[in-house]
Amino acid sequence: MPSYALIVNGAQYSVDSWDPEQPLLHVLRNQLGLTGTKFGCGAGQCGSCTVLMDGATARSCVTTVAAAAGRRITTIEGLGTPEAPHPVQAAFIAEQAAQCGYCTCGTVMSAVALLARTPQPDRAQIAQALDGNLCRCGSHDRVLRAVARAAREGRKST
């Protein structure tokens, strides 16, 4: 059975898969036990499965295990802990930016990628960066406030 070398949240893994087209999402959840990344639409359109791959957002439901091999993958579990959340996670908590929470992990990952490339985005840039992350609960305004807060807090800490 073919093996694929993955670097996930800074740790190296060798995962087996008969199918090089197997979605990375399935490997993360089923083989590595990283269940923060959610299955939503399965077509790369809702954003629930968003992870970072070499620092850029990637939809893990349509990214194959073969395409992810050797790349640096970060999931929500790789950002922070309950005791020491990542600044974006802390801002989401402070702004109460999650209702059901299903889309939240993917949205946080998209926000982290945005702030890494644009540390002080305006509201339009935030909205554009999160446009592919769908939320049925209607917490969009709080999400936008949370990302803006994370940007402000980041500016204060530098």
Q: What is the pLDDT along the chain (158 residues), one digit of tens a residue?
A: 889 999 999 999 999 998 999 999 999 999 999 999 999 999 999 999 999 999 999 999 999 999 999 999 999 999 999 999 999 999 999 999 988 888 999 999 999 999 999 999 999 999 999 999 998 887 889 999 999 999 999 876 54
Its pTM stands at 0.94
Q: What is the number of domains present in the chain?
A: 2
Domain that holds residue 99: 87-157
Are residues 64 and 107 located together in one domain of the fold? no
Residue 103 contacts residue 47 (beta carbons within 8 Å): yes
Is 117 a domain residue?
yes
Backbone torsion region of residue 94, taken as left when φ is above 0, otherwise alpha when ψ lies between -120 and 50, otherwise beta:
alpha
Residue at which a domain ends, from 52, 77, 102: 77
Look at residues 143, 93, 101 and name the one whose alpha carbon lies nearest to residue 123. 143
- Count CA atoms within 13 Å of residue 116 on its CB side: 13
